[in-house]
A and B are shown apart, each in its own frame.
Chain A
């Protein structure tokens, strides 16, 4: 979201799902949508059946990658290198959209200079992707009439996640694949209301509707409406909060519907921090592991079926949530809890119902102004921006960039001359295997909601590895093994997965009570977004009886490159 906001001013995907069906080239980068976003993948499948070419960029040959015309199996954390090589090839072949680049973007010269070093040969050496595959993607993407770039956490959950995003946006800008029907840039949101949270201002630097906190006019509008003063400074994002808690600068925490004790990277450390708080309140529908650490627990209703409200999806569509069943005794709606809390803190907030809260938002956030509850119902949800009460905007964003008159194009979109850095957690002889994380189809996050599904597909958590690696280590399928990173050690049964290359291992964090994978992951955060590098840990795998120690990996050590990368305390 930070990346998109940096370039376009608004943190949302630029296209609608429907456009994926009518596009010519789809690039799915660091996303296993087939598993993590199955219904979005339906739209991709329709696109494929309509003739679109699909490229999947992912270290793993995922379910999604198996649908691809071409899979680009890059080394974990080499995304910028690959993106830059694609950009360089597009420019070198003269395939970039010169008119769009000149008229609607800025920073082309710097960008060209930044990607100049990324020849196909060098990129192949760094990323492990054959040069011909890079060229094929570059040419297909650049020559397509319409192309879509989609990504998920495989791009963002890195220490340089925002730079990763920027490097992908560059490619769309280079080819003019944005602001037109069928062409666009789409981050797929991992959680059902991540987008809505951002829309509502639950990010450190924005007011609802992506209005900047430092914008005096915007702030004043809210101050008048709310009858209070809003401090003109940005807040902390999650990682900065944890750092502040670590420094004891932040001593109290109010957690609503999150389970950081299990979802944070390097969870041992995260729990220590939470335990060191003076006061913690947790508001959740379950007594999560985090809630168990809290001083006060506020039992909430399940927002999606026991109360009313709205959520926003990955195509910026605001939709109504409704109460279908009565919540258990003793629970209260999130809004009730907040209003009551305000009341006890001396503020009387008067909202007869949730719709009135929504209407307050509409009065303050221009992009939501036209979204009355009645229209949301009639239209099956409405995509922002929707400033008008009686018309709808196009399904894609930033059509302004194509305006005939340069004055109508608004702020031009900057190309970003970002630099590549490899993963923080380096492979070494002691930690020769790259561990990456992701999701399985029938599970979700820390399993708080999904563990109740009686899924016939579920085997419990496993360490997925290539059988050749297992053979070298003398590990049988199903054998429990010890997995150790520089931060901690856990045990899990090994599962053979032919779709993983040698040297690459995979786990999820769906079953933290059994296998707490985040003991292994690294708390190396992106300074811009605060997202941790869940996707790249260095590990070793050992037999439990200790008979075989760590075995030097074959072909697993990060490729030798001439870029110095800081080593996180080994």
Chain B
């Protein structure tokens, strides 16, 4: 059902990143032990990279794709010998001789508990994969009782382009990082407050149109739980018409300025319902501006004038 080319290789990423020279030196290999198997991984790789290279499944929620890992959710923890505590595989880099266990009792317990703690306080129904992990790790978010404190709150709808449903927010910081220094540099949102009261906010909680938001939607693109959503998607979910199985994704190029951003158009019933950009494309790294993200309305009217 998809025309997206998942195996896309971006040549400009190869060998052009290093500051010193456009032709990077080959990275040395580091030998580690992963679940009893000796494996070689490139120096600088994370434990998660090593797991992925071996096909070892590690659940992640806050892992940043194109963002620096904040390792806040702690779902990806693994056991490293001689480490007092578990370590986040998404950010911990491999070291020679490291002995890593991804499926010990402690690891399973922590993953179960992270899922339970989140599940008991946040609406995870729009987060892909979570239900499966809950089952896999035997998490039971209901056992904290009905008095368990949650982040439940009304959906914030203060503009026509996207909605913020912080009942679904796991505080992974990805939207803040995408809006901030790592990509958009608009700094419209921040983490405010502390502890369980920490939440994503504008200054003094003002509505988005009063804030620095420029509606690039790069926060929506990185949100792992559906707390940030195109208004089209939100409205369709409310109406019960949102059906991902009936959607297609098609890559094309933005019709506006000359930068040439790849748009992935998510279509359902011949309507564009959402726009993303491939995370691994050298032009966008998954980011767009308001025109690319939301500038598709002009082809939606079946009868143009």
Contacts and interface: CB of A to CB of B under 8 A. Distances in A.
The answer to whether any beta carbons of A and B sit under 8 Å apart in the complex is yes
Interface of A: 16-19, 22, 36-40, 42, 45, 49-50, 181-182, 188-195, 285-287, 299, 302-306, 311-315, 317, 319-326, 328, 377-382, 392, 394-395, 441-442, 444, 448-457
Interface residues on B, range: 35 or more
Contact of B262 (A287, A305, A380, A452): A380
Nearest to B18: A22
A249 B288 CA distance: 45
Interface in B154-199: 159-161, 181, 183-185
A285 B285 CA distance: 30
A179 to B, nearest CB: 13
Nearest to B295: A453
B72 interface: no
The 10 A-B residue pairs with the shortest CB-CB distance in the complex, in nearest-first order: A313-B260, A189-B258, A452-B297, A454-B160, A38-B289, A324-B250, A181-B22, A304-B255, A324-B265, A456-B209
A42 B287 contact: yes
A302 B255 contact: yes
Contact of B256 (A19, A45, A192, A381): A192
B267 A324 contact: yes
B253 A321 contact: yes
A413 to B, nearest CB: 21
B297 A305 contact: no
Interface of B: 3, 5, 7-13, 16-19, 21-22, 159-161, 181, 183-185, 208-209, 213-216, 248, 250-262, 265, 267, 270-272, 278, 280-285, 287-292, 294-305
A286 B304 CA distance: 6
A192 B282 contact: no
A394 B23 CA distance: 11
Contacts of B288: 39
A336 B284 CA distance: 31
Given A190-B257, A192-B254, A18 B216 contact: no
Given A192-B256, A311-B253, A380-B281, A392 B295 contact: no
A191 B7 CA distance: 29
B282 A38 contact: no
9 contacts: A37-B258, A45-B185, A285-B298, A304-B252, A311-B260, A317-B283, A325-B271, A442-B214, A454-B294
Contacts of A299: 304
A443 to B, nearest CB: 8
Given A324-B252, A442-B291, A448-B298, A312 B260 contact: yes
Contacts of B13: 18
Contact of A39 (B159, B292, B301): B292
Contacts of A444: 256-257, 291, 295
Contacts of A449: 255-256, 295, 298
Given A325-B299, A326-B270, A453-B295, A189 B257 contact: yes
Nearest to A194: B258
B230 to A, nearest CB: 12
Given A39-B288, A453-B291, A321 B259 contact: no
A19 B12 CA distance: 10
A37 B267 CA distance: 26
A363 B215 CA distance: 43
A18 B16 contact: yes
Given A380-B283, A394-B22, 13 more contacts: A18-B282, A22-B22, A42-B183, A42-B284, A192-B255, A305-B252, A314-B260, A322-B252, A328-B304, A382-B11, A442-B215, A448-B298, A456-B160
A380 B260 contact: no
Contacts of A452: 295, 297-298, 300-301
B8 A380 contact: yes
A39 B287 contact: yes
A456 B161 contact: yes
A39 B281 CA distance: 12
A378 B255 contact: no
Contact of A313 (B215, B259, B301): B259
Nearest to B213: A456
A522 to B, nearest CB: 24
Contact of B259 (A182, A286, A314, A323): A314
B250 A17 contact: no
Contacts of A456: 159-161, 208-209, 213, 215
B259 A441 contact: no
A74 B272 CA distance: 44
B258 A192 contact: yes
Nearest to A311: B253
Contact of A319 (B260, B295, B299): B260
A311 B248 CA distance: 22
B278 to A, nearest CB: 8
B299 A306 contact: yes
B8 A324 contact: no
Q: Which residue, of A49, A451, A452, A453, has the highest number of chain B Cβ atoms within 10 A? A: A453
A243 to B, nearest CB: 27
Contact of B9 (A302, A312, A379): A379
Given A379-B10, A455-B215, A39 B259 contact: yes
A394 B12 CA distance: 9
Nearest to A286: B304
A199 B17 CA distance: 28
A157 to B, nearest CB: 15
